[in-house]
Amino acid sequence: MELSGKTVLLGLTGGIACYKAAEFARAMIREGATVHVAMTESAQQFITPLTLQALTGNAVFTSSWDSRMANNMPHIDLPRKVDVIAVAPCTANFIAKLAHGICDDLLSTLCQARPAQVPLLVAPAMNVEMWEKPATQRNIQQLIEDGVGIMGPASGFQACGDVGKGRMLEPVELVEEVIAALQPKTMAGKRFLITAGPTFEPIDPVRGITNRSSGKMGYAIARAAWRAGAEVTLVSGPTALAAPYGVKRIDVMSAREMLDAVIASLPGQDVFISVAAVADWRVKQVSDQKIKKVAGQSTPTLEFVENPDILATVAKRPDAPYCVGFAAESENLKAYAEAKRKKKGVPLLVGNIGHETFGKDDNTLILFDANGAFELPHDTKQNLAYKLIDQLAARL
């Protein structure tokens, strides 16, 4: 429920992607938002106000001349009661109007009348030729300079049959953009490199050794960092999770592949957070062929060798970013985590209890730094990730 307590004004303009706006409204409501809708005249050719009213449970506004408002000024009252305005789909025409301050209908006027603290986001949606025209590109540049958030557009197959840039983002992606627009940008301009998930150390072509890490904690931190404005690279072991929106994910299997991907991505990073549960050991001799079970023969014996220590390797490089480690222990968390922090030479180590975190949606974190231990009490992993990002913002 990332939009709990938030009120969104959804603006619809006259594009074919209006059919996705209904799902966008629903998706925001599922995240806890209250949604009010304003539509241009053209938008009503594509989808009826009735549909949006039924989905949002709120009256839909289509005209500046609306006596349902006591003062008859919806262009003033509507933007005052919302946390964010999202225009999706946003036509080439509407982008042009915003860029030039034209206020000739309710939606364009209320965008212009919005209080300074209300962010305006637009989701361009149009034919590729319309998108690429110099006039549209000039207008988009103007909106960027004016502080308007541009969501997309994506490339792909278009309703008109063309293929190219101009498709509206999908509703779930738009929701991510709205959530991010409401977060304080404490990590703007920062670059984060994060590892997450387990590693998988092969025994033979079909078998391997892994652990119970789900990747949820690392993915939540990657999501929180991106929402706080950071550019995020996530090096992930095998997980069942989708890449967090906005985050660049690099998939790896073994500890050595993870180290290679981390070292290759390291230049220019400000923060490295090692959340992955990296296998301490790998099998010394990986068999090229499946090890067969033969009746009457003894069971195989596996010999292990130590894996590289990714966090310690990064922390002792001369170009090391600010390094944060994670320790998942089954007991003696305080003693082990503090010892691990010193051994790895990192300023901050986050401890958690392995069997209480692996696979779960919630967790308790204990932060260890030079000043001692500090607990982030039991919460969802996503909320803990936000709190960890706040802690980092105070330390960086």
Ligand X SMILES: Cc1cc2nc3c(=O)[nH]c(=O)nc-3n(C[C@H](O)[C@H](O)[C@H](O)COP(=O)(O)O)c2cc1C
Residues of the shown chain interacting with ligand X in the complex, contacts defined by CB under 6 A: 13-17, 40, 42-43, 91-94, 125-126, 130
- Tell me whether residue 90 is one of the annotated catalytic residues: no
- Rounded to an integer, what distance in angstroms lies between the CA atom of residue 37 and that of residue 120? 14
Task: Name residue, tokens 């392995």.
Answer: 354
- Rounded to an integer, what distance in angstroms lies between the CA atom of residue 278 and that of residue 308? 9
Our CB check for ligand X shows the closer of 22 and 346 to be 22
Q: Do residues 93 and 15 touch, judged by C-beta distance below 8 A?
A: no
- Rounded to an integer, what distance in angstroms lies between the CA atom of residue 176 and that of residue 252? 25
Q: How far is CA 350 from CA 110, 173, 234, 273, in A?
A: 46, 30, 18, 10
- Please tell me whether residue 311 adopts helix, strand or coil conformation: helix
Q: Tell which residue, 134, 152, 140, has the closest CA to residue 99.
A: 140
Our CB check for ligand X shows the closer of 91 and 391 to be 91
Q: How far is the CB of 388 from ligand X (least distance, A)?
A: 41
Our CB check for ligand X shows the closer of 40 and 391 to be 40
Q: Do residues 94 and 13 touch, judged by C-beta distance below 8 A?
A: yes
Q: How far is the CB of 235 from ligand X (least distance, A)?
A: 38
Cβ burial 50-86 (10 Å sphere, 16+ → b, else e)? ebbeebbeeebbbebebeebeeeebbebbbeebbbbb
From the DSSP assignment, how many helices (H) and strands (E) are in the chain?
A: 15, 20
Our CB check for ligand X shows the closer of 38 and 126 to be 126
Q: Tell which residue, 133, 134, 151, 141, has the closest CA to residue 11.
A: 151
Q: How far is the CB of 382 from ligand X (least distance, A)?
A: 34
Our CB check for ligand X shows the closer of 93 and 213 to be 93
Our CB check for ligand X shows the closer of 16 and 76 to be 16
Catalytic residue (choose from 18, 90, 160, 323):
160
- Catalytic positions are 160
